Amino acid sequence: MKVLVPVKRVVDYNVKVRAKSDESGPDLSNAKMAINPFCEIAIEEAVRIKEAGNAEEVIAVSVGDSSSQEQLRTCLALGADRAILIETDEFVEPLGVAKALKEVVSRESPDLIILGKQAIDGDANQTGQMLAAMLDLPQGTFASEVEIQDGAVQVTREIDGGLQTLSLTMPAIITTDLRLNEPRYASLPNIMKAKKKPLEILSSSDLGLDLSPRQNTLKVTPPPERAAGIMVEDIEQLVDKLKNEAKVIT
Amino acid sequence: MSILVIAEHDNSELKGATLNTVAAAKEIGGDIDILVAGMDCESVADSASQIPGVSNVLLANKETYKNSLAENLGNLIVELSDGYSHIMAPATTNGKNFMPRVAAKLDVSQISDISAVISDDTFERPIYAGNCIATVQSTDSIKAITVRTTGFDACESSGGSASINSIENDTNAGVSSFVKEEIAESDRPELTAAEVVISGGRGMQNGDNFSLLNGIADKLGAAIGASRAAVDSGFVPNDMQVGQTGKIVAPDLYIAVGISGAIQHLAGMKDSKVIVAINKDEEAPIFSVADYGLVADLFEALPELEAKL
């Protein structure tokens, strides 16, 4: 079995991103970049499936500019066997990313495709589901447990109010939620080894795809500020303020 | 313009998130239809038909749609999409599951999690955990949209009289099947619908200590939430998570206990009307968004708060 894991380079989750003062976009100058946390969980799951003897190969793929090679090397250090970068300098929406990934899927014919449920930059939560629809494949989104069975995969999903378990025919698409696993750290020897693993670079124009955005971002602004609050001395004062000033309790 | 809203329901009850979504649809303007797809869900269609301003309720009552499987539901919506300018669903785990399939099949770029309507093609949506608000204009002929329910006050739920039309489409993709569901039984209100939410963070130290929140929640009729740190530490299940990658809440009163206030958490609660923070670290970032902050040991403060309410 072959597992494909699409990953995204995003701003590190600890960075508090602000809008540029001219409202043209988020200010990412000098921001630390990293692999999207949910993508890291996806790689970990794929590697665990391989380690359990249920897959022979794990392939990491990314759509982005050449700096995304850094995140693909991270994936290789975490246990992926090889990597593919679909290189583009343009901003690509999830719809375009899914179209590019569809080409990779048709070349590689993976049995399982595992993605993060959302990227923490655009917060769109679309790519996995879109890819599944384009390929007419079943999807198990927001997965907290994945069990490979004979010709099928059972996925437990985090849904509002609880958990739902589905059985999907393979090939199938899975998107990861927080509790699926705890990703490992790459060891130094594995980081060294990753430098020698194959990383193929394709240009998005070679794929002959139109990945141009369908949405115009007119402006990016800071969220409304909250008015400064006050510190209270004790519980008694807090309850008094909530009752008589904010009037949110009786 | 003609808008199709996909109802959120559990086959017996229409969920409140539908009303927020219809409210967003009304801001866009035009005819509004509601799709109720499920099994034995006539009562849901009845409720949907009473929402003022709705023209038609489409009722797809089939085994195929019983569990809202994204493959089956997505295909149904695509079949019904002809003639609609907008297709909208609440950004619940259900809406997030099927809507991108619809968008991809229609070859349109989805607009996720809109928090405001500017015009029929322009919307605001939070990005970067709500640290930026993007105003985006869609150039697609059909707009596939999920709605951040906290961005829109629920519309009225009664007084309307839409007609209910049964539809016979059966779009069983045959690639996924339902195995089981474990829905937490609780007398408390749902997190996203509660007027008061009290959440615990890493400062709670373990899962057992979350019981300190119970008495207060009982007295305030509150839902209980948690920060990602508390979920990551295994204190409580993930469906209690409030934040960028969990639930987005905006209650009248939000009480954050032992929560430092990471940006991922603030993204899920900073639109609450009144925020109270109780934390022993006076430098905790949560205080920067709190209307009322109390620097205190939560193990002393919580029992006292419960007693004073």
Instruction: Report d(CA B4, CA B145) in Å as an integer.
Output: 10
Q: In whole angstroms, what is the distance from residue B47 CA to residue B34 CA?
A: 11
Q: Which chain A residues touch B309 with a CB distance below 8 Å?
A: 239, 249
Mean pLDDT over residues B145-152, rounded?
96
pLDDT value at B185 more than 80: no
Using a CB-CB distance cutoff of 8 angstroms, which residues of chain A are in contact with residue B305? 235, 238-239
Tell me which residue of B250, B244, B271, B267 sits closest to B195, measured CA to CA: B250
Spatial CA neighbour of A116 closest among B185, B244, B141: B244
What pLDDT, on the 0 to 100 scale, is given for residue B196? 97
CA-to-CA dists, residue B299 to B211, B213, B280, angstroms: 11, 10, 10
Closest approach of chain B CAs to the CA of A171, in angstroms?
10
Among B100, B135, B192, the residue with its CB nearest the CB of A129 is B100
Q: CA B3 to CA B155: how far, in whole Å? A: 16
Q: Residues for chain B: how many in total?
A: 309
Q: Give the Cα separation of A233 and A239 in Å (integer).
A: 11
Instruction: Give B239→chain A minimum CA distance, Å.
Output: 6
Which of B93, B305, B308 has the CB atom closest to A160's CB atom? B93
What are the b/e assignments for B123-160, b being 16+ CB within 10 Å? bbbbbbbbbbbbbbebebebbbbbbbbbbbebbebeeb
Q: Which of A126, A179, A211, A239 would best serve as a mutation to test chain B binding (most B beta carbons within 10 A)?
A: A126
The owner of tokens 């022979």 is A56
The answer to whether A116 contacts chain B (CB < 8 Å) is: no
User: According to the model, what pLDDT value does residue B187 have?
Assistant: 84
**Cβ contact (<8 Å) for B112 and A125?**
yes
Quick check: B301 pLDDT over 80? yes
Confidence of residue B121 (pLDDT cuts 50, 70, 90): very high
pLDDT value, residue A20: 97
Share of chain A above pLDDT 90, in %: 90
Name the closest residue on chain B to residue A123, using Cα atoms: B127
| Pairwise CB contact (< 8 Å): B239 & A160 | yes
Q: Which amino acid belongs to residue B97?
A: N
Q: Do B264 and A13 touch (CB under 8 A)?
A: yes
- What six digits make up the tokens of B248? 């987005």
- Structure tokens of B80? 């019904």
Task: Report the distance separating Cα A248 and Cα A136, nearest Å.
Answer: 49
Q: Predicted ipTM?
A: 0.95
Question: B42-88 pLDDT, tens per residue?
Answer: 999 999 999 999 999 999 999 999 999 999 999 999 999 999 999 99
Distance from CA of B94 to the nearest CA of A (A): 7
**Gap from A203 CA to chain B (nearest CA, Å):** 22
Residue of A214, A219, A234 to mutate, testing the B interface (most B Cβ within 10 Å of its Cβ): A214
Burial of B299 (0-12, 13-18, 19+ CB in 10 A): middle
B interface test, pick of A28, A160, A225 with most B CB neighbours within 10 Å: A160
Nearest C-alpha of chain B: how many angstroms from A175? 10
CA distances (Å), origin A28, targets A32, A63, A68, A111, A137: 9, 19, 15, 36, 36
Each of the 250 residues of chain A gets a pLDDT tens digit; together they read 999 999 999 999 989 899 999 999 999 999 999 999 999 999 999 999 999 999 999 999 999 999 999 999 999 999 999 999 999 999 999 999 999 999 999 999 999 999 999 999 999 999 999 999 999 999 999 999 999 998 899 999 999 888 999 999 999 999 999 889 999 999 999 999 999 999 999 998 888 888 999 999 999 999 988 888 999 999 999 999 999 999 999 8
Which residues from chain A sit within 8 angstroms of residue B182, using beta carbons? Answer: 162-164
Q: What is the pLDDT of residue A187?
A: 96
Distance CA B78, CA B184 (A): 32
Residues of A in contact with B287 (CB under 8 A): 229, 231
Q: Would you tell me which residues 45-84 of chain A have a C-beta closer than 8 angstroms to some C-beta of chain B?
A: none
- Report cis status (omega within 30 of 0) of the bond before B52: no
* Nearest Cα to Cα of residue B292 among A6, A185, A57, A249: A249
Q: How many residues does chain A have?
A: 250
Q: How far apart are CA B10 and CA A239, in angstroms?
A: 38
Q: Do B245 and A133 touch (CB under 8 A)?
A: no
Q: For A50-61, how does the pLDDT look when each residue is reduced to its tens digit (9 = 90+)?
A: 999 999 999 999
Burial A92-129 (b: 16+ CB within 10 A, else e): bbbbbbbbbbbbbbeeeebbbbbbbbbbbbbbbbbbbb
CB contact under 8 A, A123 and B105: no
Of B92, B227, B113, which Cα lies nearest the Cα of A178? B227
Find, among B192, B230, B198, B194, the residue nearest to B212 by Cα. Answer: B198
What percentage of chain B reaches a pLDDT higher than 70? 100
Q: Is the pLDDT of residue B223 over 90?
A: yes
The predicted pLDDT at position A250 comes to 84
Nearest to B112 among A126, A164, A241 (CB): A126
